[in-house]
Structure 1
């Protein structure tokens, strides 16, 4: 289709959702981020494999009055599943720690693995840095929305979100560098679509 468009001298506009996915996948491949995801996945796999640990997790969720949510394991083809896995892990982290420290688990299980305080801090930084990409991905997936008209304001928001700040950690800086979007040749077409669909222009102000 892109070849046909070139032959017809038509402007080809790359799928923005695909661009979001590619940029986010690059961020997930940063060594410290990839290592963190592997550690979280090891913990979630342990609870999925161990009936004792899973039962203890449910008990601790109730005792700590946490949402009775299941842990999530990411899927390679969906970058936001890694975001969801990390977010759910942080939500349930008090219950996870309590379950892993319980006598029932320590007495019956050998392959017990926990994350360090540094890992937890890194996970929080990863979520914060990738939150704009997550929000944009969800918005672009709404079928009832005229997605092309959303691209210009979304790009503007993402470009601003990717700017480095003095308080950024090295991990945050690395992520922002990977997901940073630049104004391409088709940017003016996105502006035109935004003007023709003024309902999307509110994104510039949020």
Structure 2
């Protein structure tokens, strides 16, 4: 067994790490970060929407979370919602709000139309830019502020499972947004 001195070991590690970095495709890293932002952000925002509808039912927070989902929805789902299938979902959403639930409209369902009727140039500009990431960060911060205010108004400082789920989902929402912005994948 050959023994290595620390200098040879450091040179070996440095040589192999630069060789590995040369073979690594930066485009694939960019796509991985973008995909993690899209899927992680969408799942976190969906979870927060469910908790919002089961908890305090804050309409402003519902609007913010749907705007976040508009910017962070994965490309595959976004494309499906922007096709003929999405038009039918939008039609059924409007019909259900008008006909079925006339006294109390279904919350958030009418806001789904934002996915369908937004012009392509605006949707692409928001979804593939630094400004879209900043909007998502601002939405995440506003969700945190709204939750802190709601906790302060209720004077209930006990942490329940609902509160714990909210904190974890908000943490993931902010994590994926900051990861997306910090790694510069929006270029």
The structure showing larger relative contact order (alpha-carbon pairs under 8 Å, at least 6 residues apart) is 2
Using structure 1 for the length normalisation, give the TM-score. 0.26
- If the length of structure 2 is used for normalisation, what is the TM-score? 0.28
Higher helix proportion: 2
Highest CA radius of gyration, 1 or 2? 2
